[in-house]
Amino acid sequence: MQQADLSYVRTEMLAPQPAPNRERGFGAWLRANLFASPIDTVLTLLGLFLVVWFVPNFLRWAFIDAVWSGPDRSVCATIPQGGIQPEGWSGACWAFVNAKFAQFMYGRYTFSERWRVDLTAIMFVLLMVPLLMPRAPYKGLNALLFFVVFPIVAFFLLVGGYFGLRYVPTSEWGGLLVTMVLSFVGIAISLPLGIILALGRRSKMPAIKLVCVIFIEVVRGVPLVTVLFMASVMLPLFMPAGVTFDRFLRALVGVSLFASAYMAEVVRGGLQAIPKGQYEGAESLGLSYWQKMILIVLPQALKLVIPGIVNTFIGLFKDTSLVYIIGMFDLLGIVRQNFTDAAWASAQTPMSGLVFAGAVFWIFCFGMSRYSIWMERRLDTGHRR
Amino acid sequence: MKKFVTGVIGSAALALSVTSGSAATLDDVKAKGFVQCGVHTGLAGFAAPDDQGNWKGFDSDFCKAVAAAIFGDPEKVKFTPTNATERFTALQSGEIDLLARNTTWTLSRDTSLGFNFTGVNYYDGQGFMINAAKLPGINSALQLSGAAVCVQTGTTTELNLADYFRANNMEYNPVVFQGFDETNAAYEAGRCDAYTTDQSGLYALRLTLANPDDHVVLPEIISKEPLGPLVRQGDDQWFDIVKWTLFALVQAEELGITQANVEEMKGSDNPEIKRILGQEADSKIGDMLGLDNDWVVKVVAGVGNYGEMFERNIGQESPLKIARGLNQLWTKGGIQYAPPLR
């Protein structure tokens, strides 16, 4: 049978037709994504209502009606409140944030010595950025500078007392400086310590295993607030008179140990996800324990738990606010402390300060989160499900 | 539980006070070159950071006065912000030399905690504030039966509130919060009919209210809150220095010595002024304390007299605008009174 005989079969392909009108364009997208079912419709309308209700008011409060600069509370208070704004006015008091900005960054760090904090911050950024970029060269040297040389230099720069630098006691530190130092030290200590604890917990040597299990379970089982509180209220009573531990040191130790215990469990999760074949394969090659772990197991395990690790880092970054308990003031602490300055007390001050603090925390946490997602994709060498 | 904790801390503090009290604080302070002073972590008008981060306030100014008496320089002081629980251990452990943190003078603190109160720099008392726009016609705390009252938990304020309502056979619903901020927000949002705290706190609260004119402070004062600086027991010289610094501030106001005219006053013919300023030929006004004889001059030149400190930080020159009330001099209807400096 020849094709030509089949007169009911087309000889050429039909030109593609555009999709029906109701299946394309903006209307179809709306129907498919927002109004697909009655429940979707209700949710969409509810969401739309919330956005319309909240966003314009917020924008109006935060930008249009906001006060950007001024000498004291009078610019942020209405006439009945003792200020200059018309009655019924409501807007953000960025003038408060503006006036206190240096304090939010440095705390009470001696004014003439603040260049030292700036210099440390610049060194931190200059060393960290190439370290985070996989393509940048000299990774080994960079890591050495960042993890060994930088902390030592930063310690002498920030604390001072040597090389003609004025001593600045940690009780004068505050604001973002404290938040950054606490979280950086916490992160830098907790990751290696957490890995060691996780390996220890999976060790076949009973003594090491027991020590690691006890440490992890005790530290994880006690709230950080309790430990900081004990360190600040009870510890001084057990010391001989006049002997006091630096409060900042207490916080550093507490926060780092805490993060380590959480990190250990995250890493252990990764170790357990590695198939037994990987361990056995490494052993059959004649690798020692440390070679096996460093070359074969940990690279795979850590890659698996990047979300968990970053989750712990973000948690740690925000937990630094708890040092408020021991009379240290991180970013949030110093913002809240400044609400008590009578020169700035107004109905708008607390909200403005908290929005500012929230925004700063969000920028850092969001940055960490995006970097970790990017890193995860880059290291994704298979196993995709 | 709270009692238990306080008891443990108290007895531990007592055990320690035997060892820590004997050192000569003045010598230590002179050796390190500054006074370490415990203040509030942030209380409007009493101790709060200004735009540059310097401590400003009535309590922090008292610390500066002590520094001025010893060193002649009110800036030779370092502040340790302390919260309600750690303030006592900080003093007891020697972390601070002096605590000026609007602390109420009570018998137990003076005895079993091992402290000495050096006097009263601010007579406070607990009061009530209500929203008069919402509750018209209420002009006495005795009409508050059945009211929901916002109060900060864990303070003597909460106990005083319970005592007051029980003593007057009235019902009330306590609405308790942990911190000052939350309590304020709840009151502002109308979750309670009345707000109770120390009167100085009520004035600070008014600054943050949207419609301050709607809110009135009721006339009843339901508790005595004499706030004063305190030191460790066992070092009488240091105790005397802090105590007489406070008296000197009050006495200077009584004699009309101010920050502006103190140098001029040194040439005064008034024997009492000459004596307090150490201008007599054989003056011992400082030697007796271990200080320079012109220490009062340095104090007043550094921070002003009591009245100036008051007006600048919490009085009419400040946003708080607290009236002098009981803190007026005894000659003007108040109860601030200093024994003779001679």
A99 in contact with chain B, both atoms CB, cutoff 8 A: yes
A237 in contact with chain B, both atoms CB, cutoff 8 A: yes
Chain B residues with CB under 8 Å of A233 CB are: 9, 85-86, 89
Domain containing residue B213: 126-223
Does B29 lie in the same domain as B90? Answer: yes
A318 in contact with chain B, both atoms CB, cutoff 8 A: no
Helix axes A150-159, A114-132, angle to 10 degrees: 160
The answer to whether residue B339 sits within a structural domain is no
The answer to whether residue B145 sits within a structural domain is yes
Q: What is the pLDDT of residue A301?
A: 92
Q: Which residue has the tokens 């960079």?
A: A142
What mean pLDDT is reported for chain B? 87
Residues of chain B numbered 90-129 and touching chain A (CB < 8 Å): 90, 92-95
Chain A residues with CB under 8 Å of B315 CB are: none
Concatenating the DSSP letter of every residue in A9-30 gives S-SSPPPPPPPPGGGSHHHHHH
C-alpha A1/C-alpha A92 separation (Å) is 84
Comparing A5 with A110, which gets the higher pLDDT? Answer: A110
* Backbone φ and ψ of A100, nearest 5°: -100, 5
Give residue A52's pLDDT band: very low, low, confident or very high (50, 70, 90): very high
Does B10 lie in the same domain as B96? Answer: yes
Asked if residues A254 and A228 have their Cβ atoms less than 8 Å apart, the reply is yes
Domain at B167, CATH number:
3.40.190.10
The answer to whether residue B342 sits within a structural domain is no
Judged by DSSP in three states, B261 sits in coil
Chain B residues with CB under 8 Å of A88 CB are: none
Q: Residue B236 pLDDT more than 50?
A: yes
Asked if residues A81 and A347 have their Cβ atoms less than 8 Å apart, the reply is yes
Judged by DSSP in three states, A169 sits in coil
Q: What is the pLDDT of residue A241?
A: 62
Does B252 lie in the same domain as B108? Answer: yes
Q: Residue A122 pLDDT more than 70?
A: yes
B210 in contact with chain A, both atoms CB, cutoff 8 A: yes
Judged by DSSP in three states, B61 sits in helix
A347 in contact with chain B, both atoms CB, cutoff 8 A: yes
C-alpha B299/C-alpha B309 separation (Å) is 11
Strands (E), B155-217: 172-177, 194-198, 215-217
* Backbone φ and ψ of A194, nearest 5°: -65, -40
Proportion of chain A above pLDDT 70, given as a percent: 96
A170 in contact with chain B, both atoms CB, cutoff 8 A: no
Beta-carbon contacts of A142 under 8 Å, excluding residues fewer than 6 positions away, are A127, A130, A131, A136
Q: Give the nearest chain B residue to A96 (CA atoms).
A: B51
Question: What is the mean pLDDT of the segment spanning B31-52?
Answer: 90
Residues of chain B numbered 37-76 and touching chain A (CB < 8 Å): 41-45, 48-54, 56
Chain B residues with CB under 8 Å of A336 CB are: 42, 181
* Backbone φ and ψ of A105, nearest 5°: -85, -45
pTM: 0.83
Q: Residue A213 pLDDT more than 80?
A: yes
Do A82 and B319 count as a contact with CB atoms less than 8 A apart?
Answer: yes
The answer to whether residue B340 sits within a structural domain is no
The answer to whether residue B337 sits within a structural domain is no
Q: Give the nearest chain A residue to B314 (CA atoms).
A: A342
For A338-383, what is each residue's pLDDT tens digit?
A: 988 888 888 888 899 999 999 999 999 999 999 988 888 888 766 5
Best CA proximity match to B6, nearest among B94, B80, B87, B101:
B87
CA distances from B269 to B145, B272, B277, B341 (A): 59, 9, 12, 17
Q: What is the pLDDT of residue B7?
A: 44
* B89 → closest Cβ in A237, A342, A349: A237
C-alpha B222/C-alpha A87 separation (Å) is 35
Chain B residues with CB under 8 Å of A107 CB are: 53
C-alpha B64/C-alpha B66 separation (Å) is 5
Chain B residues with CB under 8 Å of A103 CB are: 49, 51-53
Best CA proximity match to B301, nearest among B55, B97, B67:
B67
Q: What is the pLDDT of residue B22?
A: 47
B197, B223, B249 - which closes a domain: B223
- To test the contact with chain A by mutation, choose from B17, B43, B50, B233 the residue with the greatest count of A C-beta atoms within 10 A, namely B50
A249 in contact with chain B, both atoms CB, cutoff 8 A: no
Chain B residues with CB under 8 Å of A72 CB are: 319
Best CA proximity match to B105, nearest among B7, B198, B226, B197:
B226
* B48 → closest Cβ in A329, A340, A349: A340
Q: What is the pLDDT of residue A206?
A: 93
Helix axes A206-221, A175-201, angle to 10 degrees: 140
For B133-172, what is each residue's pLDDT tens digit?
A: 888 888 888 899 889 999 887 677 888 999 999 999 999 9
Q: What is the pLDDT of residue A208?
A: 94
Question: What is the mean pLDDT of the segment spanning A316-323?
Answer: 88
* B51 → closest Cβ in A100, A233, A242: A100
Do A244 and B211 count as a contact with CB atoms less than 8 A apart?
Answer: no
Do B209 and A233 count as a contact with CB atoms less than 8 A apart?
Answer: no
Q: What is the pLDDT of residue B21?
A: 43
The nearest CA of chain B is from the CA of A167 a distance in Å of 14
Q: Which two tokens stand for residue B274?
A: 């000459």
Do B207 and A240 count as a contact with CB atoms less than 8 A apart?
Answer: no
Do B92 and A99 count as a contact with CB atoms less than 8 A apart?
Answer: no
B207, B223, B239 - which closes a domain: B223
Does B297 lie in the same domain as B266? Answer: yes
Does B115 lie in the same domain as B12? Answer: yes
Q: Which two tokens stand for residue A227?
A: 């430990």
Asked if residues A117 and A107 have their Cβ atoms less than 8 Å apart, the reply is no
Burial of B140 (0-12, 13-18, 19+ CB in 10 A): exposed
Q: What is the pLDDT of residue A93?
A: 92
Strands (E), A255-354: none
Burial of A255 (0-12, 13-18, 19+ CB in 10 A): buried
Does B102 lie in the same domain as B233? Answer: yes
How many CB contacts within 8 angstroms connect chain A with chain B?
132
Q: Residue A199 pLDDT more than 90?
A: yes
B177, B194, B223 - which closes a domain: B223
The nearest CA of chain A is from the CA of B329 a distance in Å of 25
Instruction: Please work out, in degrees rounded to the nearest 5, the angle formed at the alpha carbon of residue A159 by the alpha carbons of A155 and A165.
Output: 110
Does B318 lie in the same domain as B237? Answer: yes
Helix axes A349-378, A306-319, angle to 10 degrees: 160
For B240-260, what is each residue's pLDDT tens digit?
A: 999 999 999 999 999 999 999
Residue A262 host element (H or E): helix A247-273
A108 in contact with chain B, both atoms CB, cutoff 8 A: yes
Residue B155: DSSP 8-state: S
Best CA proximity match to B238, nearest among B94, B122, B112, B102:
B94
Do A338 and B49 count as a contact with CB atoms less than 8 A apart?
Answer: yes
Q: What is the pLDDT of residue B1?
A: 39
Q: Count the alpha carbons within 13 Å of B119 in the hemisphere toward its beta carbon.
A: 22
Does B198 lie in the same domain as B115? Answer: no
Other CB atoms within 10 Å distance of the CB of residue B181:
15
Asked if residues A335 and B311 have their Cβ atoms less than 8 Å apart, the reply is no
Q: Which two tokens stand for residue A202?
A: 């999976």
In this prediction, does ipTM exceed 0.85?
Answer: no
Strand partners, A175: A330
Do A343 and B12 count as a contact with CB atoms less than 8 A apart?
Answer: no
Beta-carbon contacts of B215 under 8 Å, excluding residues fewer than 6 positions away, are B129, B130, B131, B132, B206, B209
Does B159 lie in the same domain as B133? Answer: yes
A345 in contact with chain B, both atoms CB, cutoff 8 A: yes
B4 in contact with chain A, both atoms CB, cutoff 8 A: no
B85 in contact with chain A, both atoms CB, cutoff 8 A: yes
The answer to whether residue B132 sits within a structural domain is yes
* B95 → closest Cβ in A244, A329, A340: A244
C-alpha A60/C-alpha B323 separation (Å) is 38
B23 in contact with chain A, both atoms CB, cutoff 8 A: yes
Q: Residue B214 pLDDT more than 60?
A: yes
Residues of chain B numbered 167-196 and touching chain A (CB < 8 Å): 181, 185, 188
Does B173 lie in the same domain as B65? Answer: no
Percentage helix, strand, coil for chain B under 3-state DSSP, each rounded to 5: 40, 20, 40
The answer to whether residue B293 sits within a structural domain is yes
Question: What is the mean pLDDT of the segment spanning A240-256?
Answer: 78
Does B214 lie in the same domain as B325? Answer: no
Buried-exposed string A261-288: b where 16+ CB fall within 10 A, e elsewhere: bbbbbbbbebbeebeeeeeeebeeeeee
Does B130 lie in the same domain as B63? Answer: no
Chain A residues with CB under 8 Å of B54 CB are: 108
Question: What is the mean pLDDT of the segment spanning A18-44?
Answer: 86
* B43 → closest Cβ in A340, A349, A350: A340
The answer to whether residue B338 sits within a structural domain is no
Burial of A357 (0-12, 13-18, 19+ CB in 10 A): buried
Region of poorest pLDDT, from A187-191, A280-284, A288-292, B91-95: B91-95
**Structural domains of chain B, count:** 2
Question: What is the mean pLDDT of the segment spanning A261-268?
Answer: 93
B209 in contact with chain A, both atoms CB, cutoff 8 A: yes
Q: What is the pLDDT of residue B154?
A: 64
A4 in contact with chain B, both atoms CB, cutoff 8 A: no
* A346 → closest Cβ in B45, B53, B207: B207
